[in-house]
A = this chain, B = another copy of it.
Amino acid sequence: MARIAKSPRFCCCLLSVVFVSQFVERVCGVWPLPQEIQQSAESSGLSPQLFTFTYSQDSAAQAGCSVLDTAFKRYFSIIFPDFTKDALHDMWLEPKAFVLSVSVKTRGCDGYPDEDSDESYNLSVSEGQAVLRSVTVWGALRGLESFSQLVYRDDYGAYFVNKTEIVDFPRFAFRGLLLDTSRHYLPLHAILKTLDAMAYSKFNVFHWHIVDDPSFPYQSRTFPDLSKKGAFHPFTHIYTQSDVMRVIEHARMRGIRVVPEFDSPGHTQSWGKGQPDLLTPCYKGSKPSGTYGPVDPTVDTTYRFMERLLKEVKFVFPDSYVHLGGDEVSFACWQSNPSVGKFMEKMGFGRDFTKLESFYMESIMNITAALNKTSIVWQDVFDYHERPRSQYVVEVWKQGCYLCEMRRVTKAGLKVILAAPFYLDLPIPTQNWARYYGVRPLAFRGTEEQKKLVIGGEVAMWGEYVDATNLNPRLWPRACAAAERLWSNEEKTLNADLAFPRLEEFRCELVRRGIQAEPLFVGHCKHEFNGL
């Protein structure tokens, strides 16, 4: 029997996209907002004892599918947090069976999500059953997440889900989140927790800015000295090969790609400790000053080292993308070094060091291309040479007119990722989530072809002031604002006032799931962090 929930949890309705039947008081939302969602007030009770996930007969994925079997286990606990075998919440209700059947069109349970992965899904919830259809297992994961957000409890603790129809797909294929594990080391548990929260918000790329000037925590099998000498601590503050595999598998289970960044030629001070001849010796007058600058782009040993390192990276990280950095190279040290000067002369670069940097980046990108990887670079690389010789993806990070840059990059025919307005670590008022929500990534003048080159956006959490103590409240729920911008239809989600109560509700849901998501404003959650 379909019945009206006696006391639906507090939540808001997005009237413009919600079908309101005559019985409804309030209906509940999904964050980020699905492309199309229709909900009615008719609800089904859910009994943990009689709830089943199943594969439909026509599904290409069946029992034994690692990604979905694991997701069923995970989402059962999320949907029914208080479930124990003995619990019988519905003592005074006749418990009814509910089946969520999943149908996936293509196989791929053992693969990795990638840039072309289809994440669309359709979800139809009616009395006693829900049908989830998707092209890939990754789309099925997105649908399971949406279903888990539809389930709510009344004041008696009973579970309900309203009749709902969802047609959903992401606006952008690349919805990234950057963590910086060099300026502060982030313990594995902090990274895994972030991946959990990313999945709740439908982020799908973990951009692992794994090394930088301050430390080199990646334990390379080819060059073990890099972390041995370049990490904050050679045993405790490193990521072993096994740690990295664990991160990649945890991410895969959630449909999240792991794109590592090995930023060079700048931001490499920590590399120099374990790889002595890699960096450029800086000069004071005619003598070496004892300090080092960016990677030395004038010697063959550099390229042989980078090739071996990138070969290892290709082997360890399955994603087809690799981030090569290329940002913020200071030319002062190169300028001071006489053999760099000779090289410049030989190459005919004059005194234009941007040409030297471009020469270096082109060489590195040739290495990755030969390894069959797509390179992402920070916008500096494009800015030096707007007529790119090779195909690469540009990440726009500089504050200021980032839309102007988007226009230039796409005009040059390159794919682009927008990070500039999503720098969540910047020391601005931390509560200002609407600032991220109001970003319009395509609001530049350009052709349809240009707009298609915008493959997505990325939240950046740089590590100068962030470690495991404050990572989560800084990220969540502000990153959720970006998540909705990158997943949902912009026309339906422009109004931050309408989004506010939905986001408040979602942040309480994150808190309930153990994510330390900070409050948006005065109020409370039924479950407070770490319990009452």
Contacts and interface: CB of A to CB of B under 8 A. Distances in A.
Interface of A: 183-185, 187-190, 214-215, 232-233, 236-237, 427-432, 463-470, 472-473, 511, 516-524, 526, 528-532
Contact of A465 (B427, B516, B519): B519
Contact of A466 (B189, B190, B519, B528): B519
A163 B421 CA distance: 53
Chief secondary structure at chain A's binding surface: loop
A519 B473 contact: no
B184 A519 contact: yes
Nearest to A193: B530
A382 B472 CA distance: 42
19 contacts: A184-B519, A184-B523, A184-B524, A185-B528, A187-B529, A190-B530, A215-B524, A237-B528, A237-B532, A427-B430, A428-B429, A430-B465, A463-B522, A464-B522, A465-B520, A467-B528, A469-B472, A470-B473, A470-B516
Given A187-B530, A532-B237, A518 B469 contact: yes
Contacts of A516: 469-470
Per CB-CB distance, the 6 closest pairs between chain A and chain B, nearest first, are A427-B429, A470-B473, A232-B524, A470-B518, A468-B529, A469-B529
Given A470-B516, A516-B470, A465 B531 contact: no
Nearest to A214: B522
A410 to B, nearest CB: 34
A469 B465 contact: no
A527 to B, nearest CB: 9
Contact of A469 (B468, B473, B523): B473
B531 A469 contact: no
Given A187-B528, A427-B432, A465-B519, 16 more contacts: A183-B522, A185-B528, A187-B530, A189-B530, A233-B526, A236-B532, A237-B528, A428-B429, A430-B465, A464-B522, A465-B520, A465-B521, A469-B518, A470-B518, A470-B519, A473-B473
Nearest to A431: B465
Among A427, A465, A522, A526, max chain B CB count under 10 A is at A522
A423 to B, nearest CB: 13
Among A184, A469, A529, max chain B CB count under 10 A is at A469
Contact of A430 (B430, B524, B529, B532): B430
B187 A532 contact: yes
Among A185, A430, A431, A524, max chain B CB count under 10 A is at A524
A469 B517 CA distance: 6
B214 A523 contact: yes
A238 B473 CA distance: 24
Contacts of A522: 183-184, 214, 463-464
Contacts of A532: 187-188, 236-237
Nearest to A510: B469
A518 B470 CA distance: 6
A469 B519 contact: yes
Nearest to A466: B519
Contacts of A430: 427, 430, 465
A406 to B, nearest CB: 28
A233 B524 contact: yes
Nearest to A476: B469
Given A215-B524, A518-B467, A187 B531 contact: yes
A238 to B, nearest CB: 10
A463 B524 CA distance: 11
